[in-house]
Amino acid sequence: MLGKHILVIMAVACPSYAFAGAAERGEMVFKKCRSCHEVGTFAKAKVGPPLNDLIGRVAGSHANVKYSKAMVAAGKDGLVWTEEVLDQYLTRPRDIVPKTNMTFRGLKKPEDRADVIAYLKTFLSDEIIVSASNDPDVSPDILTIAGDPEYGEYLSGTCVTCHQVDGTDQGLPSITGWPQSSFVTVLHAYKTKHRENPVMQQFAGALSNDEIAALAAYFQSVP
């Protein structure tokens, strides 16, 4: 009885069932990574970096991690953890960054790599915040307001009391580097109380349309 219930709820909550399956299998695969990497709300740096918001991150760029020189250099040379690059790297890490500290030998099976990447993708805060939302459309007049980034920087003081300005997710979603239109849409969803968090409703509620545009302009420019 209970089992059935859970199944029903899951099916409703995860419209793309195949994706959920991959991510779930990926969670099992990720056990191999756990001795060195954390992921999730409270993820911290261990031997390796926390893997929230990994996709799109520059290699060797997490603030709280002691990387190998090779990894930092690779990042400086432009290595970014896209899904394709991760897939190659996870096949045999030392083929991609020969002197990486990561002693893990690799995941031979392509489906294991795909699953673990699907799992890591569930920890992309932008993804969760921006695309998974059913936020109401914001009128074009508001969406196209040109925000003043200098004013936005001042206003951002309020945001970074909780959110990390370096864009990491340390329990709260990353808010840097978003496309302006998404940022504006999300803040308006709080302002109009379509989104529920009362802390955010209150902050957004105190902002004018111009101020929201200013914040969006500023945060888009923060890497």
Partner 1 sequence: MKLNRRLFMGTTVAAAASLSAPMVLSASGKPRVVVVGGGAGGATAARYIAKGSKGAIDVTLIEPTRTYYTCFFSNLYIGGLRDFSSLGHTYGKLAADYGINVVHDWAIGVDRDAKTVMLAGGDKIPYDRLILSPGIDFVDGAVEGWDVSAQNKMPHAFKAGSQTQLLKAQIEAMPQGGTFAMVAPPNPFRCPPGPYERVSMIAHVLKQKNPTAKILIADPKPKFSKMALFQDGWAEHYEGMIDWVGPDFGGDLVSVNPDEMTLTIDGEVNKVDVCNVIPAMKAGRIAEIAGVTNDKGWAPVNAIDMSSKMDANIYVLGDSAQQGDMPKSGFSANSQAKVCANAVRGSLTGSKVFPAKFSNTCWSLIDTNDGVKVGATYQATDEKIAKIEGFVSKVGESAETRQTTYEESVGWYSGITADMFG
- Cβ proximity to partner 1: between 110 and 205 the closer is 205
How far apart are the C-alpha atoms of 97 and 121, rounded to whole Å? 22
Q: 26, 31, 24, 19: which is closest to 112 by C-alpha? A: 26
Residue 205 near partner 1 by CB under 8 A: yes
172 counts as binding partner 1 under rule CB under 8 A: yes
Residues in CB range of 110: below 8 A, 6 or more apart: 87
Q: Which residue's CB is nearer to partner 1, number 131 or number 161? A: 161
Contact 117, 88 (CB under 8 A): no
Three-state DSSP at 157 gives: helix
Residue located via tokens 């914040």: 215
Binding mask 37-66 for partner 1 (x = CB under 8 A): ----xx------------------------
Smallest gap, in angstroms, from Cβ of residue 126 to partner 1? 16
Rule CB under 8 A: is residue 161 a binding residue for partner 1? yes
Residues that bind partner 1 (CB under 8 A): 41-42, 150-151, 154-155, 157-158, 160-166, 170-172, 197-199, 201-203, 205-206
